[in-house]
Amino acid sequence: MAPHVMILDDDVCFARSTAELARTEGYQPHIVHSLDEARGITRRQAMDLMLLDLELPDGSGLDLLDDLDFSAHGQMAIVTGNPSLDTAALAVSTPIIDYLIKPLDPERLISVLRNSSALSASGSAQDNELPGVIACSNAMRAPINLVKRVAPSEASIFLEGETGTGKEVFALAIHELSGRTGRFVAMNCGATPAELLASQLFGHERGSFTGAVQRHVGVFEQAKHGTLLLDEITEMPMDLQVYLLRVLETGAVRRVGANDETTTPVRVLAATNRDPLDAIAKGQLREDLYYRLADFTISLPPLRQRDNDVVALARHFVGQLNARYGLRKYLCPRSVRSLQSYSWPGNVRELRSAVQRAYLLTSGDQISVTPGRGRATVPVETDDTITFPIGTTWAELERRTLLKVLAYCAGDKTAAAKMLGVSVRTIHNHLSRLRQEERAAGDVGAHP
């Protein structure tokens, strides 16, 4: 469906030529010459873009803003042949995206038309191509099309992508399009203690271990005839990966402490925020299990690569919050540029939090989202503290801790040993090993 643009201008020739240009950019133009006409048409038709003249027979284009339901319309720009500091300042305080001065630069007007067209497309019916998925960017076309083709089949699907890119949302869409009659069940393998993971996956019988006071049905049986998502599959211990592979091959599970197996027809989807081939190389994922789970691999792009999806998602989240709280708030048009220019390292999850924070803190109806606000600050390491990023190896943890504590104790090995709760001999042994590793590394570097 073509986006709609309203051209509010009493200059008939200018309005017609602007309408022709808009038509060549795929718009359906609506020409009006007075505020009264504009009020009438905006009550009947949602506009994706409005070009407002400041000097009209019955007032100023800015007067229209008092009568608009901003949640029903898109963007607005001022077009005037008599610019002034007063009107420019007034426009800045309203939800106006641009201030264009006649005679117009055609390239600048085309830019406004194209940007608004892209944003209106992001909020179109294309949003619902997959249940629950809000996307219209080119980066999302391939994963969406692949899901639509393989979801009704029995093929296994492996979802990969950064944290917060929507892997569980895609998994749920796959389930809903599959036609399976059972439940959709999701389990995060990294959020369950290793000693309880087998019980959560496969269930257990009463008395099978300390604390097992009653029978527990695992997620495989919970998802019988449905879909089971194993999120963060690379966090599953290798011994359980062996058993999981057997379950996938046989279609039957044995509860912990049980003698008999239970047939569990279930479609298993897997997901990870790591590169699966890199996880295989590092011994975090069995290669045979990966290929059993990955008839198809679907890579979800980060939000920073998804063009105007960020704006569509932000508006979607505002709509959800409006439905929850019974309000009619809307996204400030001036937020669009900052939303699109931010990298969103936390992806859709970070965007949702940013929108909710702005929504709850805004007393008026116009929401201005500030990207990055509320993110935890990176801890600064001091003389008496030490920080490690997730993923630091155990050997590196030991090395840095030992050297940091020794530095804090001014080289006193006895004091360092006491602080670390080890013997002085352990300190000497670790230092000796570190010196040997440094000498070995130096020898390698000297003889390429």
Q: Is the residue at 338 inside a domain?
A: yes
Shared-domain flag, residues 195 and 290: yes
433 lies in some domain: yes
Residue 376 lies in a domain: no
The CATH number assigned to the domain holding 348 equals 1.10.8.60
Note the Cα 439 to chain centre separation in Å.
46
Put simply, whether the predicted model's pTM sits higher than 0.75 gets the answer: no
Q: 299, 316, 339 — which closes off a domain?
A: 299
Residue 171 burial by Cβ neighbours in a 10 Å radius (0-12, 13-18, 19+): buried
- 17 within some domain: yes
Q: Which residue has the higher pLDDT, 113 or 270?
A: 270
Average pLDDT over residues 246-272: 89
Does residue 384 form part of some domain?
no
- Please indicate, yes or no, whether residues 26 and 83 belong to a single structural domain of this protein: yes
- For the segment 132-184, what is each residue's pLDDT rounded down to a tens digit? 898 888 889 899 999 999 999 999 999 999 999 999 999 999 999 999 999 99
3-state secondary structure of 236: coil
Residues 223 and 109 in one domain: no
CA dist., res. 25 & res. 238, Å (int): 56
Q: Is residue 320 part of a domain?
A: yes
Q: Percentage of residues in the chain with pLDDT exceeding 70?
A: 86
Domain region containing 227: 138-299
Q: What is the CATH number of the domain that holds 17?
A: 3.40.50.2300
Residue 283's pLDDT is 93
**Whether residues 168 and 317 fall in one domain:** no
Domain count of the fold of the chain: 4
**21 CB contacts (<8 Å, ≥6 apart)?**
106, 109, 110, 113
Using the 3D structure, point to which of 59, 91, 122 is the last residue of a domain: 122
pLDDT tens for each residue of 215-234: 788 899 999 999 999 999 99
Over residues 94-103, the pLDDT tens digits come to 567 778 888 8
Question: Would you say residue 39 lies in a domain?
Answer: yes
- The position carrying tokens 């873009």 is 49
In this structure, is residue 375 part of a structural domain? no
Q: Are residues 217 and 106 in the same domain?
A: no
Same domain, 38 and 142: no
Same structural domain, 401 and 420: yes
Provide CB contacts within 8 A for 60, sequence distance 6+: 54, 87
Whole-number Å distance between alpha carbons of 278 and 233: 13
Reduce the secondary structure of 317-355 to three states and give it as a string. HHHHHHHHHCCCCEECCCHHHHHHHCCCCCHHHHHHHHH
Q: How many CB atoms lie within 10 A of CB 383?
A: 8
- Segment (H or E) for 361: helix 347-361
